Amino acid sequence: GQNIDQPTEMTATEGAIVQINCTYQTSGFNGLFWYQQHAGEAPTFLSYNVLDGLEEKGRFSSFLSRSKGYSYLLLKELQMKDSASYLCAVRRTGANNLFFGTGTRLTVIP
């Protein structure tokens, strides 16, 4: 079976750094994705990790540890527009589809 755990809600201050954690248990693993979703809109792709380590992309970084079943998304220099839900998803082996967590709703306050 599959399971993904993320915190339901987080609050952080504009200009600060926030880390959103994701732990997963899957029968097969073929990569982990992070998406951003503003309320009522479609998810947009942020990052992809398939090997252990840190991937950096501007203000956003994502880390993966396959042995621990753990990933995090790091957002630096927070802006008000970063207020959104952040979805962690695991690609299942053999089926080429994604299993999503319930998402973390981030609120950035002034």
Partner 1 sequence: DGGITQSPKYLFRKEGQNVTLSCEQNLNHDAMYWYRQDPGQGLRLIYYSQIVNDFQKGDIAEGYSVSREKKESFPLTVTSAQKNPTAFYLCASSGVTSTDTQYFGPGTRLTVL
Residue 56 CA to residue 4 CA, distance in Å, equals 23
Smallest gap from Cβ 67 to partner 1, in A, equals 20
Residue 77 CA to residue 102 CA, distance in Å, equals 25
Nearer to partner 1, 33 or 72 (CB): 33
Site for partner 1 in 77-106 (CB under 8 A): 87, 89, 91, 95-103
Q: Is 6 exposed, middle or buried (0-12, 13-18, 19+ CB in 10 A)?
A: buried
Smallest gap from Cβ 27 to partner 1, in A, equals 13
- The residue to which tokens 């609120």 are assigned: 107
Interaction between residue 45 and partner 1 (CB under 8 A)? yes
Which residues are at the interface with partner 1 (CB under 8 A)?
Answer: 8, 30-31, 33, 40-45, 48, 50, 87, 89, 91, 95-103
